[in-house]
A and B are shown apart, each in its own frame.
Chain A
């Protein structure tokens, strides 16, 4: 999130599109309600009428997978009706920048497309620069090659009529939402967007969010109280686990994972973002300090200047290798891996095309599964269709502590890092995950010490001293993540002050690239300092009155509660919204008041620094040349869709997605056997694959089994009655469910055809409650979902795929 949960209360218009906030992040509705009580308008856009819709002032439906059409229409409406914030657009975004003359867009394809490789050569999407390497601008926004004019041209095609034909949303409903949300472009108005997997789980996931970001930039809603583009993330610490880089493509603090072409630390540092513009802070220029400090936290005294701080010990990806989830399980299915660690996860239910995942697990030699309860993954070898006698995979199941049985911190979606404490011991022999990881590594290291082995250097040189009295000590890791001064520093280059060896760094500003500092994750530097454990703070002072609570827990980076906050002020540093002053420049004291600013530099003025300090150009990107599928979002149909052609162009699907072609990677488009659009979702009483909810008697009683929601119209067509057992099936699998016939879903009129949509929750699995027949729990919705992902993130398309539903006992139409 750019903002945080309590900040919802500061908005004038709240758009919830791409999530069902009231059911899936229930307590956060408290702050939406607080805004509504103040007169704010709450809009819900969703294929299904949910409890969120009941709380919304405006509810509008759209067909799954058509969000870019919907939002593209809003961009056009904002531009046509001059609703945009001109000052913001000119000064704080790249709308005035001039684009390379070779850039083009024609009939669904951007310039540089290679049909054979299904990829773009993005070089023509570059911004044009002057002799000194600074992007050219036209502050009048009139140049036909400036971003603003290209934006106008691109979205001129997104007329109300065409958008309505694609989305199935009546034109008057579109207009209503566009008008209300567009009203936040006025000075002193704030609009916020809340999304979740309803936007990410598409083959155009990133571009869904980009489209909204463009709207927020046009309306001046980024970096302000009550604004932002806010991801309601799905797990209590998925923000933290991402920050700590449990993903193939990054190492802690969003540093790129090393690749083979960067053989040395110097090569790696050559990729540091640079800017020729003296007005751009380009904070990422500091990256060499963060990688050096990370390597010191990894290898301690064994990391020296002479050995590149141990950079060679880190594993390297091949130059363009993508080792993300879908590819990982594709490789596993092909039998590439002998070993697999499934730590606090249940991929047998959470992975798209779960049949393929389950088959893949059977191809391993060994698997380690760590969890609080048993799962469909730990017990995959005794699941439906499996014959244990034929499965060689050795399985180790390690019982771990639940959250109230250990101590540590988690980071919520608002980047609030909060410490939680241990109340009781874990049951039986269960141990905290930290203890298990810590002890397991010691075992491995002992083996390498005793028996030698291949390339033992990274193992033998690893700094692994996080124990007190022979036990894992989480505080030692928390401090390592923050970072230390490793030598006495007589006069620090930043503030000319002296710092003692062994003391904790006050923030990442003090990190150095010469090995004199460590920090396990630079964005968490300042979280655990000589002043104490910041995440454990519980003071409720609210000096701005905006609900920032700067002394409750801690927020990365450097306790900044709303990021990009320099965009909330005018050129002189005065709040542009006097009712919600997030930052203000104190002329006399020469300092910022309010939130922790995005850097201490004085206001932009006419010669000062630009507000978006993490962007190399210093401004927000209306034109985004860094993505794989285009600098502007464009509507494409989902890989599996109900329409023969995309009404926007000749490209039916996103031209940059990877198409898997294995024997289990089957897809169906406009196939009469699978005529229904299907979407997966959650219910309030369950969470994720259900491992932490299905085993809880109170929750399984409330939501006991798999169901399928469908409209009255569809139920009548299929001869299905409410409460009857049905089978939902796709090209990839089938699940049994109880039919819920409801007015919450209605058929869509898509151009000249009627499209029905159904919906299923994804919390269930065969392991528990035991499902000898459908009346028990049922199985995972992911048995149905396709192996296909967004080209940028590779997040699977679980929100729009084609299915059929039939009564149990009635044979599939073949």
Chain B
């Protein structure tokens, strides 16, 4: 009898109601599944879609006490049916990773090191830089006298790593500033 982990979990619930575990035969995978179930018991389950290639595999995570404790393929997902590749299966380590950037950092001109700064300070200074570059370069008409309302002084690349809503917002943001040099991963 072939039993997936999920069906085992459902069955083991049924076992309490009198269905014998002997149905499971000698397959050890249910025991492993049972151990895994203990780990994620009472954890919050959330569904995701993998961030790497474009297949769009479903993933589920388990969070207990605000900590990510498990990450795996979503067995209910029609594309991957629970499977993940090496990268998708390693997604857990994106979240639980001591090397993540956790602070806003600033590197001053000609400096050899980073300095930690606050969001408020950085956003204010970036906004001022953008305004300065934009205002200094803003072109209302091109050489032929045609209205172009653009800045040739700021460029942007990014990003296919953003969600759709963020991409749309970023695209709107850049175009409101008058940027035309807008590119990203899709071009390379």
Contact = CB atoms under 8 A, between A and B. Distances in A.
B169 A440 contact: no
A235 to B, nearest CB: 4
B52 A341 contact: no
B79 to A, nearest CB: 6
A548 B158 CA distance: 31
12 contacts: A27-B85, A243-B164, A248-B183, A313-B149, A328-B157, A399-B104, A400-B101, A410-B49, A420-B47, A423-B61, A477-B169, A795-B188
Interface in A262-317: 263, 298, 312-317
Contact of B154 (A337, A409, A480): A337
Given A27-B85, A316-B142, A398-B104, 4 more contacts: A236-B49, A397-B101, A424-B66, A466-B169
Interface stretch (A132-140, A366-374, A485-493, A732-740): A366-374
Interface string B64-97: 0011100100001011110111111011011101
Interface in A673-688: 684-688
A394 B109 contact: yes
A396 B53 contact: no
Contacts of B16: none
Contacts of B79: 5-6, 27-28, 412
A410 B163 contact: yes
B100 A372 contact: yes
Interface stretch (A441-449, A749-757, A773-781): A441-449
A263 B48 contact: no
B173 A437 contact: yes
A455 B122 CA distance: 24
Contacts of B87: 684-687, 693, 699
A229 interface: no
A241 B187 contact: no
Interface stretch (B2-10, B23-31, B123-131): B123-131
A252 B171 contact: yes
Nearest to A472: B169
Interface string A571-603: 000000000000000000000000000000000
A304 to B, nearest CB: 17
Interface string B166-184: 1111111111111111111
B88 to A, nearest CB: 7
A793 B173 contact: no
Given A316-B149, A443-B124, A455-B149, A699 B90 contact: yes
A345 B78 contact: no
B186 A238 contact: yes
A530 interface: no
Nearest to B161: A344
A372 B97 CA distance: 11
Contacts of B173: 437, 440-441
Assign chain B's interface to a size class: 35 or more
Contacts of A372: 94, 100-101
Contacts of A103: none
Interface residues of A, number: 162
Nearest to B112: A388
A546 interface: no
Contact of A235 (B94, B155, B161): B161
A390 interface: yes
Contact of A237 (B111, B125, B129, B162): B162
A509 interface: no
A431 B138 CA distance: 31
A686 B174 CA distance: 30
Contacts of A318: 142, 148
A687 B53 contact: yes
B185 A350 contact: yes
B146 A261 contact: yes
Contact of B144 (A260, A332, A338): A260
Given A238-B186, A347-B157, A405-B95, A30 B83 contact: yes
B155 A241 contact: no
Contacts of A685: 86-87
Interface in A463-514: 466, 474, 477-478, 480-481
A795 B102 contact: no
Interface in A413-462: 413-414, 416-418, 420-425, 427-434, 437-441, 443-444, 446-448, 451, 453-455, 458-459, 462
Contacts of A345: 157-159, 161, 184-185
Contacts of A431: 119
Nearest to A460: B176
B175 A314 contact: yes
A520 B103 contact: no
Contacts of A695: 97, 99
A662 B157 CA distance: 22
Contacts of B187: 247, 324-325, 793-795
Interface in A771-798: 793-796, 798
Could you say which of A332, A403, A416, A798 has the most chain B C-beta atoms within 10 Å of its C-beta?
A403
List 5 tightest A-B contacts by C-beta distance, closest first: A428-B102, A408-B163, A412-B56, A344-B159, A343-B158
Contacts of A794: 187
Contact of B102 (A409, A427, A520): A427
Contacts of B133: 338-339, 365-366
Could you say which of B79, B152, B179 has the most chain A C-beta atoms within 10 Å of its C-beta?
B79
B95 A248 contact: no
Given A343-B159, A481-B165, A425 B52 contact: no
Contacts of A351: 188
A493 B75 CA distance: 45
Contacts of B169: 434, 437-438, 466, 477
Contacts of A352: 188
Could you say which of B103, B106, B136 has the most chain A C-beta atoms within 10 Å of its C-beta?
B103
A685 B79 CA distance: 20
Nearest to A24: B53
B11 interface: no
B156 to A, nearest CB: 4
B102 A429 contact: yes
Contacts of B104: 396-399, 429
A466 B80 CA distance: 34
Nearest to B82: A27
B78 A540 contact: yes
